[in-house]
Structure 1
Amino acid sequence: MKINILSLLFLAISCGLHGQTNQYSISFENAEHHEAEITATFPSLNPGVLSVRMGRSSPGRYALHEFAKNVYNFKATDSKGKALEISRPNPYQWDISGHDGEVKVSYTLFANRGDGTYAQIDETHAHLNIPATFMYVDHLGDRKIEVDFKVREDLNWKVATQMPQVSGTTYTAPNLQYFMDSPTEISNYGLRQFVVDNNGTPQNIQFVLHHNGTEAELDTYFEQVKKVVLAEMEVFGELPNYDYGTYTFLACYIPNASGDGMEHRNSTILTDREGLAEGGMKNNIGTVAHEFFHGWNVERIRPQALEPFNFAEANMSGELWFAEGFTSYYTNFILCRAGIITPEEYVEGLTGTFNYVWNSPARQFFNPIEMSYQAPFVDAATSVDPVNRENTFISYYSYGSVLGLALDLSLRQNGLNLDDYMKLVWRTYGKNDVPYTLHDLRQTLVQYAGKEFGNSFFDNYIYQSEMPDYAALFASVGVALKQAMDQPYFGASVSTNRFGMGSIQENTPIGSPAYTAGLDARDVITAINNVPLTATQRFNDLINQYKVGDTLQVAYTRYGLPKSTTVVLTGNPAYSIQLIEKDGDKVSKQVLKNRKAWLKLD
């Protein structure tokens, strides 16, 4: 057979590319004891020591997670099967010496947490977040990767992942970043899908659900999922063009999972203990809305601080009030627009988040940017020493959510809206995969809403910790913001035990009556005005017997020693949020028109 020079060249390039592919395999023979057996082969290596490591962070999470703690039985050989020398320079890394240009490592992984960060292996599924599962070589990050998921055929397992299929149970990723960003669910799952025409390009939306429910329940739930997808597509005017033409929801609603949601470039993880019939039909759809919105905001509209994602360190960004917070604003907003919850449910559902942000003492310490910087300490991070988060931290999810609400309603007073601002950010940055900075967000708002408006919003509410005039903003769409300052407020979260003692559960808020009186977490209140507490009476019901301005003599113990103090009750600072007409007040035609435009009501 005649072979020309071009054919030989193509053959050489193809062989070279295959030689530059890192190969993984994973099997689950001991799944009932939560173990996987993993191999990884790194070919075409330069001479010298090869450093293989487990990650310490996972895409979408900002705190450190020590995945290496679940690895054992580590071995390394060369291409001929010769055992290689291994040393450990740190807890996360294995240095391998004496190889012949190829290293094959093998290890056992213990995995028993099914959520958006870790891995879980048992007889029901193999739920794999990649950084928690597979070792990697940092300087080989540009190499193609292939992984063979050796499924348990006796358990009818199938593979679901955003990685494209090579053949059988082998899937591929173009590089390390994509591989680490590709969670995989292996189980006997159900599948529903539909195709969306995205400006002439079909995009396949598929919903994978591992659960113990019925096909009919999945059908019903998937109809809600479709409504969410289309409502969020309307915000941005289009879907992203997913890298392989498909977006995959990977949902596990099973008793052995942990509640979570985690976004990825072309997929998302959704986990919860509640099945669809046990409340999950209603309670889990908000996570669907939140994570799918991330397909635009944070995955493609991406902070420059998170590019590229560092798997060895904590990842910090000052833009999470926008990336996570504005996504949180749209979460229930989308459910309302899609008809999954009512306008009344949506509006009243704002109450908890609003009170948490508005009444937090933490705004005196940090602005939204600085709150975002706290993510490595709070995003599923763990510590043994007590912290003062009640007084010093506001979740960037919540802070950004109420700021997104304020920006939307403020823009609408000028004939504009947040949807169109998000579209502009999308078309300028996200659609073109151009990472943004805080300055970029500011300048885009200036471009959209004018210099005075854009600068004022950022200067007052982002770089400073001031709060907008929410009463006026809410009134513009027929929503009442009210305080019940005639109700007494003690200022501590107190739980009464069966012995009639009231334990303060958390740090008292700065400036509250309890804080001013010197009461703190773990103090145990025994009597009010010389009357002992009883096990049958709720502490708040006891306080409600008094009036604003009343002085209480409080007996308590601290570290077992008896003490006393004086608490002067103030008015309750909490707000209620509801539709104006709920109290029988009339809504003008213009205000009703504003509300319908805001919520996209027919």
Structure 2
Amino acid sequence: MRLIYTPLLTLFCVFSFYTQAQKSTYKISFENAVHHEANVNVIFSELEGENLTVRMSSASPGRYAVHHFAKNIYGVKATDSKGTPLKIMRPDPFSWKIMNHDGEVNLNYILFANRGDGTYSQIDETHAHLNMPATFMFAPTLEDFPMEITFNVRKDLNWKVATQLKETGANMYWAPNLQYFMDSPTEVSDFSIRSFDVDGQTIRFVLHHHGTEEELDTYFENVKKTVLEQKKVFGELPEFDFDTYTFLACYIPNASGDGMEHRNSTILTSTRSLANGGMQGNIGTVSHEFFHAWNVERIRPQSLEPFDFTKANMSGALWFAEGFTSYYTNLILSRAGVITPEQYIKSLNGTFNYVWNSPARQYFNPIEMSYQAPFVDAATSIDPVNRENTFISYYSYGSVLGLALDLSLRAERLNLDDYMKLVWIKYGKKEQPYTIKNLEEALKEYAGTTFATNFFNNYIYKSEMPDYKTLFSKVGIQINQDASKAYSGISLNGQNAIQKNIAQNTPAYKAKLDMGDTILSIDGKKVDGNFKDLITNYKPGDKITVEFERYGIKKNTTLILSSDPTYTISIDDKASKKQLKKRSEWLLN
């Protein structure tokens, strides 16, 4: 989220100016946390008119789909300044219209919350994990006015408060407006905290977990390495509001794995403890979300400005905002020494194969894949969809395009870091939102018109595949396919049933098999959890008879096997000194 009131001095001027004007004053308490409830009180004061409409958000910063947070609100009551009950009407599922107030509305409600991730809230006796859109009603007419909040913490549970909001007193915090308030997740728990200073700013790591302080110390060293390595890409940290950036990490069994960026903070949730895989498994989310402090929070698409809390937010730039951030996620860890170059190269395989073996590129380019976010970004539906054939995640698509652009630039003795730095200086540092055309113009400025035009025309406005074999060879990396290995296009679950939509143009698709079909036998040989073993006995081009069951009826079809399309990316052990030097410049910086 962009902060409307900058710089910091202006924030305090705004704070002083509005102390006697319209404002929203919140209190939240957790007496019934064991049953996942919070009691919320908010006083809307100095109001104009006779009626006030309040609502729950339908969107959350960093998410692009619609979320119906209002479903978890009940026990709504309102009084005026004298304590007189006020009539409440429901104009729509998300709003409450409070009638005939006297300039003040004192509103109370109960929130049920039991999902600890980057979008929803979770309240229990381990913590109050609060995403503001999922927690607090707001008055749209007061969105430009300050908001104050007091957290009545559970002292019996030794709870404390961590947030990017400005602290104004004991457990009391302030935001200049609705945009900043909604963009300020808060962790209330018995957490541990570590911090370090970088160029006069403080980086805090708040961790709610069941592990040891020694584990946190070890993990925090990798967090520090990651932060400092990312600073090298852009040459500087952003100017964080109140000179502080806060990681809000919950590595607990009752959390749901996620990560969500915010202006001066990020949420990190995982069921993996540091002692049980989290030391390595969770650090990638740290890297991804902190990179967002530049790319998407300040280097921000015009299409997301301002963020609308009443509807889905769509942008065609997510291949850059999310995808290029995904490219840097593991690359940064390699440069920081958190993972090895070999581990990084190996990590490319899954994403690379997912993108370039998908039939979806015939339908959408990266911009149009980004437009799909409202349907896929934690969105829910009960009807089946055909995403296996029509959608490639903009995280993954943008990541492999970032890889291609970086290697292409390095072939010209340039690099993606310096391009990102240019975009930062032109747009992010000034907090001037960009368009996709702006990104193309910046690449022209950095690498020349011909280079930029070719890249955007072929890979952004179209869906063509870069020449990775040539690009990889320049840095001593191999990419191969095994033409002798048979491929069917079938993926079975434990009950021998096809578990997802079959990709177009695969042998299984051409044989008219479908999701849900149960494979019984191949050439008369019973399939009993051994499908992959049976296929290894065949070669590309072989025809096999498949017996399957669909809707309780046994059927047969002929499947003609093809060559396995899987790419294998690996380090070339015979790379020249020149290739090794270029690889080192790329992966070790």
TM-score of Structure 1 vs Structure 2, range by shorter chain: over 0.9
Of residues 167, 178, 183 in structure 2, which corresponds to 1:165? 167
> How far did 1:15 drift?
8.2
Of residues 502, 509, 523 in structure 2, which corresponds to 1:508? 502
> How far did 1:539 drift?
1.3
1:565 pairs with 2:557:
yes
Q: Paired residue for 1:472?
A: 470
Q: Paired residue for 1:416?
A: 414
- CA deviation digits over 1:56-92, x for unaligned, max 9? 1100000111100000000111111111111101110
Question: What SS does the corresponding residue of 1:577 show, helix, strand or coil?
Answer: strand
Aligned partner letter, 1:286: G
> How far did 1:47 drift?
1.1
Q: Paired residue for 1:182?
A: 184
Measure the CA separation in 2 of the matches of 1:533 and 1:414: 53
Q: Paired residue for 1:118?
A: 120
Aligned partner letter, 1:504: I
Q: Paired residue for 1:48?
A: 50
Question: Aligned pair in 2 of structure 1 residues 528, 16: CA closer, same or farther (>3 Å)?
Answer: closer
Of residues 213, 225, 228 in structure 2, which corresponds to 1:227? 225
Q: Give TM-score, length-normalised by structure 1.
A: 0.95
Stretch moving more, 48-57 or 430-439: 48-57
Q: Paired residue for 1:548?
A: 540
Q: Paired residue for 1:99?
A: 101
1:313 pairs with 2:301:
no
Runs of 5+ consecutive residues of structure 1 not aligned to the other structure: 1-12
> How far did 1:14 drift?
5.6
Aligned partner letter, 1:76: A
Q: Paired residue for 1:300?
A: 298
> How far did 1:18 drift?
3.1
Q: Give aligned-pair identity as a percent.
A: 63
Aligned partner letter, 1:564: N
Question: What SS does the corresponding residue of 2:241 show, helix, strand or coil?
Answer: coil
1:293-372 pair list within 5 angstroms: 293-372=291-370
Question: What SS does the corresponding residue of 1:495 show, helix, strand or coil?
Answer: coil
Q: Paired residue for 2:522?
A: 528
Measure the CA separation in 2 of the matches of 1:483 and 1:546: 17
> How far did 1:533 drift?
1.6
Question: What SS does the corresponding residue of 1:296 show, helix, strand or coil?
Answer: coil
Aligned length in residues:
575
Question: Aligned pair in 2 of structure 1 residues 376, 14: CA closer, same or farther (>3 Å)?
Answer: closer
> How far did 1:496 drift?
4.2
Question: What SS does the corresponding residue of 2:90 show, helix, strand or coil?
Answer: strand
Q: Paired residue for 1:286?
A: 284
Runs of 5+ consecutive residues of structure 2 not aligned to the other structure: 1-14
> How far did 1:132 drift?
0.2
1:7-86 pair list within 5 angstroms: 17-86=19-88
Question: What SS does the corresponding residue of 1:127 show, helix, strand or coil?
Answer: strand
Measure the CA separation in 2 of the matches of 1:79 and 1:446: 60
Measure the CA separation in 2 of the matches of 1:595 and 1:129: 41
Aligned partner letter, 1:305: S
Measure the CA separation in 2 of the matches of 1:376 and 1:495: 29
Measure the CA separation in 1 of the matches of 2:480 and 2:346: 12
Q: Paired residue for 1:6?
A: none
Q: Paired residue for 2:579?
A: 591
Question: Aligned pair in 2 of structure 1 residues 539, 241: CA closer, same or farther (>3 Å)?
Answer: same
- CA deviation digits over 1:100-126, x for unaligned, max 9? 111111100000000000000000000
- CA deviation digits over 1:520-539, x for unaligned, max 9? 100111111122222xx421
8 A contact 1:495–1:539 mirrored in 2: no
- CA deviation digits over 1:95-150, x for unaligned, max 9? 11110111111100000000000000000000000000000111211101100000
> How far did 1:561 drift?
1.2
1:519 pairs with 2:513:
yes
> How far did 1:547 drift?
1.3
Q: Paired residue for 2:5?
A: none
- CA deviation digits over 1:308-357, x for unaligned, max 9? 11111000000000000000000000000000111111001100000000
8 A contact 2:50–2:102 mirrored in 1: no
Question: What SS does the corresponding residue of 1:100 show, helix, strand or coil?
Answer: coil
8 A contact 2:64–2:312 mirrored in 1: yes
Q: Give TM-score, length-normalised by structure 2.
A: 0.97
Q: What's the RMSD between the two structures over aligned residues?
A: 1.0
Q: Paired residue for 1:10?
A: none
> How far did 1:492 drift?
1.5
Q: Paired residue for 1:7?
A: none
Measure the CA separation in 2 of the matches of 1:172 and 1:331: 32
Question: What SS does the corresponding residue of 1:350 show, helix, strand or coil?
Answer: helix
Question: Aligned pair in 2 of structure 1 residues 416, 213: CA closer, same or farther (>3 Å)?
Answer: same
8 A contact 2:303–2:314 mirrored in 1: yes
1:389-428 pair list within 5 angstroms: 389-428=387-426
Question: What SS does the corresponding residue of 2:20 show, helix, strand or coil?
Answer: helix
- CA deviation digits over 1:545-580, x for unaligned, max 9? 111111010111111111111000010000100001
Measure the CA separation in 2 of the matches of 1:495 and 1:597: 43
1:106-145 pair list within 5 angstroms: 106-145=108-147
Aligned partner letter, 1:250: L
Question: What SS does the corresponding residue of 1:291 show, helix, strand or coil?
Answer: helix
Measure the CA separation in 2 of the matches of 1:386 and 1:556: 22
> How far did 1:29 drift?
0.3
Measure the CA separation in 2 of the matches of 1:14 and 1:242: 21
Measure the CA separation in 2 of the matches of 1:494 and 1:33: 40
8 A contact 1:320–1:396 mirrored in 2: yes
Measure the CA separation in 2 of the matches of 1:429 and 1:60: 19
Aligned partner letter, 2:570: Q
Q: Paired residue for 1:240?
A: 238
8 A contact 1:306–1:317 mirrored in 2: yes
Aligned partner letter, 2:586: W
8 A contact 2:22–2:142 mirrored in 1: no
- CA deviation digits over 1:247-267, x for unaligned, max 9? 000000000000000000000
8 A contact 1:35–1:111 mirrored in 2: yes
Measure the CA separation in 1 of the matches of 2:121 and 2:244: 23
8 A contact 2:23–2:142 mirrored in 1: no
Measure the CA separation in 2 of the matches of 1:595 and 1:41: 59
Aligned partner letter, 1:272: S
